[in-house]
Amino acid sequence: MGGSAVVVGGGIGGLAAAIGLRRIGWEVTVVERARVLADAGAGISLHANGVRALDVLGVGEAVRAAARPQYTGGTRTPRGTRLARMDGAVLERELGTPIVGVRRTVLHRLLREALPAECLLIEVEVTSVDRSAPGRVRVPVRDGVLDADLVVAADGVHSRLRGQLLPGHPGPVYSGSTVLRAVTEHPVPLRTDFELTWGKGAEFGHIAFTDGRAEWHAVLNSPPGIRHADALAVMRRRFGDWHDPIPALLDATRPDAVLHHDIHELATPLPAYTEGRIALLGDAAHAMTPNLGQGACQALEDAAALAAALTTESTVESALARYDAERRPRSQSVARAARQAGRMGQQLSHPLAVALRNTGLWLAPSGMTVRAILRHADWVPPSLG
């Protein structure tokens, strides 16, 4: 089965969906409202399931070449006491790949390069779709209408198309946490490839890149909408006395490089990921908190599963029914687990609760961290034929 598709949203999930559709012979147009087709995020860790999805889409090798494997790391207290250790070598033996860290801009560029430039429309906004024509979906854009057999709504956590398709759903809610992050201006000596530090209602972490630079992120319990004139200065006051290399990461950062976003999630699961010939994908379908590092990985799984369903089913409708049946239970389960991980991790602020959590982690068997990662990363990708 072939056809034409419009993908609304040019982020990681949308580009991955377009790559998958083109690999199975579909004509694809990606529509992105931003002026520049690029990802403004800092860094990303991709677990084995995300890398396996990229392999199915044909870009796994390029991403591996640009990424740094995460063999060493774990979780610490602000004073530097180790609570848990991550063993990337064990993960590689179990899954065929360790977790890898890559700049989001690099991942986005590699996905863009897998698509012909002519199928990308930028600075074009889509606010609705027309489903009145039998067997077709019409997408109004600035200069006319795009007519398609399938529309993939990959327009993010605040998806307008989701709001049109499921008007009774409450939509995204604020998670209670906000995140500040940046990539260092120059290399920083690091003892680990990846690390998290948990304090009271706060988390600081880093991802090391191949060029020696690193992404750092700080997640804080906070009311929504708080912004700072000098966010880096605020970070230095909040984390300046935490263990090395946290002060060095902040010192290696330009003030204008700090990004600040409130974290929203779909706390109320969607009743369906599809409606007619429209499929919701990525954050538009299952926006989750970042506590398991699975948001982008789940979007990549979506893309591979959607393409696979369209290769095996005889109609778009039956393919989307299969996509919904496969993706909704798994991604919503991961989203619930991510929310729980945040509540038991970064969001804990009461001193007694923090002490109990830390003691439990310190006493836990050494393989617990690996087993926790395997629970979500051990996903078998579909074949695209």
pLDDT 10s per residue in the chain (385 long)?
679 999 999 999 999 999 999 999 999 999 999 887 766 678 999 999 999 999 999 999 999 999 999 999 999 999 999 999 999 999 999 999 999 999 999 999 999 999 999 999 999 999 999 998 888 999 999 889 999 999 999 999 999 999 999 999 999 999 999 999 999 999 999 999 999 999 999 999 999 999 999 999 999 999 999 999 999 999 999 999 999 999 999 999 999 999 999 999 999 999 999 999 999 999 999 999 999 999 999 999 999 999 999 999 999 999 999 999 999 999 999 999 999 999 999 999 999 999 999 999 999 887 888 888 999 999 999 999 7
Domain assignment present for residue 82? The answer is: no
Domain assignment present for residue 249? The answer is: no
Give the sheet arrangement for strand 120-122, strand by strand.
Answer: 120-122, 27-32, 4-8, 150-153, 278-280, 274-275
Name the CA dihedral angle for 291, 353, 349, 196, rounded to a multiple of 10 degrees: -40
- Read off the DSSP letter of residue 62: H
Name the CA dihedral angle for 377, 378, 379, 385, rounded to a multiple of 10 degrees: 120
Domain assignment present for residue 176? The answer is: no
CA distance 385 to 383: 5
**131 CB contacts (<8 Å, ≥6 apart)?**
137, 138, 275, 276, 277, 278
CATH code for the domain in which residue 285 is found:
3.50.50.60
Query: What pLDDT, on a 0 to 100 scale, did the predictor assign at position 40?
Result: 67
Domain assignment present for residue 326? The answer is: yes
3-state secondary structure of 82: strand
Domain assignment present for residue 228? The answer is: no
**55 CB contacts (<8 Å, ≥6 apart)?**
61, 381
Query: What pLDDT, on a 0 to 100 scale, did the predictor assign at position 136?
Result: 94
Domain assignment present for residue 367? The answer is: no
Query: What pLDDT, on a 0 to 100 scale, did the predictor assign at position 214?
Result: 97
3-state secondary structure of 119: helix
Identify whether the C-beta of residue 68 lies closer than 8 Å to the C-beta of residue 44.
no
Handedness of CA 223, 229, 231, 237 (dihedral sign): negative
Domain assignment present for residue 368? The answer is: no
The DSSP annotation for 288-303 comes to --GGGS-HHHHHHHHH
> Which backbone phi and psi does 137 adopt, to 5 degrees?
-130, 130
Domain assignment present for residue 282? The answer is: yes
Identify the domain containing residue 110 by its residue range: 4-70+97-171+267-344
Domain count of the fold of the chain:
1
| Residue reference for tokens 């260092």 | 184
Query: What pLDDT, on a 0 to 100 scale, did the predictor assign at position 38?
Result: 67
